[in-house]
Amino acid sequence: MRLATLKSETPDGRLAVIAPGGEAFAWAPVATLQQALENWTEVAPQLAQITSFPEALEPEQLCAPLPRAWQWLDGSAFPSHGDLMERLLDVQPLRTGLPYMYQGVSDRFYGPHDDVRFNDEALGIDFEGEFGVIVDHVPMGTTAAEAMDHIKLIVQINDWSLRMLAGQEMKTGFGWVQAKPHCSMAPFAVTPDELGDQWRNGRICVDLLIDWNGRRFGAANGEPMSYGLHELVAHAARTRDLVAGSIIGSGTVSNANYREVGSSCIAEHRAIETLDQGKPQTEFMRFGDRVRMEAKTADGRAPFGAIEQKVVEA
């Protein structure tokens, strides 16, 4: 089952169930995805029963599937990304044996075709391709094994980052605020079964294809996470209940063979350039730049649809 949210007069938009081909939809029997997640046991079977999709889908109607959330907690679970970023930023985060995670801004997620507003090109505008899961209510103290059942939907995210601010905020120990403005989401939130055996062990084992201004920049696979998303959910819930509709992120998708598959953010690519050539060669994004992100399964499907956005001056 694939769900989308279409623009309406409210910030939460209106929930739609998407036809298998992705070209049509039916309105859901509940107004918003947040409402569905708050009553998932009851609502999900109603959504799954829908087999007639009378409405044509216009891409510009799309919001993020969850246009705002009460909580967005982003991990950093791809070790090759962490290693490269530590070298670039000259930081040595404490190895706690636990996942890394920060809390990000969640009052708005950009839709997949919205222009993305920044007020200063000099801040090092960067994309970060990643995956996330949306949970129903997760009680405090839920284990990783139990957390698996709370993962109701999977989404594809661009965690926009401002690199000139990220290093210094990390060095305060307080985490990122200015360096992490609002994120974007791909069109469709999908139930785990949509990924078949490419959802395994809490990993989203598909390739994340990233094109920057029409040129392929990365095609890393989502599998090699140090912690599965169920473990990240359990980490988040260790000392708090997670309200239904909380989103937990994987961190930037990255593979150890980054020289072959490329990267899911510019900063990582700059770190590789620094290793190879002594300093970064690639500049960050400029106003007018475009980025496209589309996850592809082994059999060529794009379950989440594509993010296609332009960076603009606020």
Kindly state whether residue 313 participates in binding a copy of itself, applying the rule CB under 8 A. no
Restricted to residues 64-93, the positions that interact with a copy of itself (CB under 8 A) are: 68, 70-71, 73, 76, 91, 93
Kindly state whether residue 252 participates in binding a copy of itself, applying the rule CB under 8 A. no
Among 18, 30, 64, 162, binds a copy of itself (CB under 8 A): 162
Closest to a copy of itself by CB, 171 or 286: 171
**CA angle, residues 253, 6, 73, in degrees to nearest 5:** 35
Closest to a copy of itself by CB, 83 or 211: 83
Return d(Cα 36, Cα 16) in angstroms, integer: 11
Kindly state whether residue 178 participates in binding a copy of itself, applying the rule CB under 8 A. yes
Return d(Cα 111, Cα 117) in angstroms, integer: 13
Kindly state whether residue 176 participates in binding a copy of itself, applying the rule CB under 8 A. yes
Sheet holding 306-313, edge to edge: 116-118, 306-313, 290-296, 207-212, 215-221
DSSP 50-86: -----EEPPGGGB--SSS--S-EEEE---HHHHHHHH
**Which of 186, 126, 116 is CA-nearest to residue 161?**
126
170 token code pair: 């990390």
Binding mask 119-158 for a copy of itself (x = CB under 8 A): xx--x----------------xx-----------------
CB 257 within 8 A of CB 84: no
Closest to a copy of itself by CB, 175 or 224: 175
Report in angstroms how near the CB of residue 182 gets to a copy of itself at its nearest: 6
Kindly state whether residue 255 participates in binding a copy of itself, applying the rule CB under 8 A. no
Restricted to residues 199-238, the positions that interact with a copy of itself (CB under 8 A) are: 235-236, 238
Among 59, 117, 276, 287, binds a copy of itself (CB under 8 A): 117
Among 26, 50, 113, 118, binds a copy of itself (CB under 8 A): 118
DSSP 152-167: EEEEEEE--EEHHHHH
Q: Collapsing DSSP states into helix, strand and coil, what is residue 122?
A: helix
Cα–Cα distances in angstroms (integers) from residue 108 to residues 63, 121, 194, 280, in the given order = 10, 21, 26, 32
What does the binding site for a copy of itself look like in residue numbers (CB under 8 A)?
68, 70-71, 73, 76, 91, 93-94, 96, 98, 100-108, 117-120, 123, 140-141, 162, 165, 168-179, 181-182, 235-236, 238-241, 243, 246, 314
